[in-house]
Chains A and B, each alone.
Chain A
């Protein structure tokens, strides 16, 4: 029974806080599958247990649920009775009284510990999600930013770092566009809609929105032809890669992670962040562009 009690207590004090932390931070970002060796994992678990537990201990007499007196004697009675049947048989009612107090004591301490763990994890997730912005705000304290980088980056999946604007300091203005080359030599591009990371940390699937496929064969053929003939015919137009992209029908396009050969990530802003209305040159260019679009629509209508 003593072994069982120690196992339950060890789990409640050292394992559950780490699991709680993992659950809460997973609501904010994709965690790295493994962040270190077994001993490092254990040390991290101990850290996530000891710091909140220490705070819970020093605040044990604050609030509506406080620890009952004589808890040291009650704990001694519980462990003594579980260790030796002889001690238990001497006074069973004393054991049950002490056991009730012991359970209430641990429940009180654990509840405080878990609340602190959840609050810490929420703060951790909140900062991690805004790491780029937080680093920018703390740029006058380079040691603090270096510490933040050291503390947060190893916990976050590399794929989450690469495929989301987590590191940049204007994340609300930016969205991620990627070009994906598959092992079969097909080039796709689109906006990252969702990514799934496998248990071993690899990219399992990538779902793209507004996906396009490049007709690379045609582009390479035209490019080769251009390179061969540009000396003879200088007026020959250079093939524009943008002309070789074709929309993929459908809302979302799924690329299997195992099929991906390489990924090029671009962070794109909307032109709206430049406030075109407030800039005469840009407003003028936009008006001209609108007129050109109308002109092209009119020409297309007349041709039909």
Chain B
């Protein structure tokens, strides 16, 4: 085994800074607005997409769109 990297683990373990939901919502909305065609294509083809924000990664599925 050459290496093991765990992304964002320290942030996830840091109890003093819970997830900034407003910030994550803003970043996701902004990403969707600017990459709408690509995201739609990926959702249609794969059923899900992962969006990275400064608060971590979020999975968006077609079910999430329906639920919203």
Report the bound CA distance from A242 to B42 in whole Å. Answer: 9
Within 17-59 of B, Cβ neighbours of A (below 8 Å) are at 18-19, 21-22, 24-26, 28-29, 32-33, 36-44, 46, 50-51, 56-59
Give the number of A-B contacts (CB < 8 Å): 141
A198 in the interface, Cβ–Cβ < 8 Å?
A: no
Give the contact-size bracket for chain B.
35 or more
| Chain A residues closer than 8 Å to B25, beta-carbon distance | 274, 276, 279, 281-282
Query: Are A268 and B59 interface neighbours, CB within 8 A?
Result: yes
Query: Are B24 and A293 interface neighbours, CB within 8 A?
Result: no
| Chain B residues closer than 8 Å to A261, beta-carbon distance | 1-3
Binds B, one of A12-20, A30-38, A48-56, A163-171: A163-171
Give the contact-size bracket for chain A.
35 or more
Please name the residue on chain B nearest to A181 by beta carbon. Answer: B2
Given contacts A282-B28, A297-B44, contact A169 B13 (CB under 8 A): yes
Query: Are B15 and A265 interface neighbours, CB within 8 A?
Result: no
| Chain B residues closer than 8 Å to A62, beta-carbon distance | none
Report the bound CA distance from A202 to B1 in whole Å. Answer: 9
Binary flags per residue of A262-304, CB closer than 8 Å to B gives 1, else 0: 1111111111111111010111111011101101110000000
Please name the residue on chain B nearest to A261 by beta carbon. Answer: B2
Report the bound CA distance from A271 to B67 in whole Å. Answer: 11
| Chain A residues closer than 8 Å to B50, beta-carbon distance | 177, 268
Query: Are B4 and A162 interface neighbours, CB within 8 A?
Result: yes
Report the bound CA distance from A271 to B57 in whole Å. Answer: 9
| Chain B residues closer than 8 Å to A260, beta-carbon distance | 1
Query: Are B13 and A132 interface neighbours, CB within 8 A?
Result: yes
Given contacts A169-B12, A267-B56, A297-B44, contact A282 B4 (CB under 8 A): no
| Chain A residues closer than 8 Å to B13, beta-carbon distance | 132, 135, 167-169
Report the bound CA distance from A128 to B37 in whole Å. Answer: 44
Query: Are B57 and A284 interface neighbours, CB within 8 A?
Result: no
A41 in the interface, Cβ–Cβ < 8 Å?
A: no
Query: Are B2 and A272 interface neighbours, CB within 8 A?
Result: no
Query: Are A296 and B4 interface neighbours, CB within 8 A?
Result: no
| Chain A residues closer than 8 Å to B22, beta-carbon distance | 279
Select B36's contact among A240, A272, A277, A289, beta carbons within 8 Å: A289
Tell me how far the C-beta of B27 lies from the nearest C-beta in chain A, rounded to whole angstroms. Answer: 10
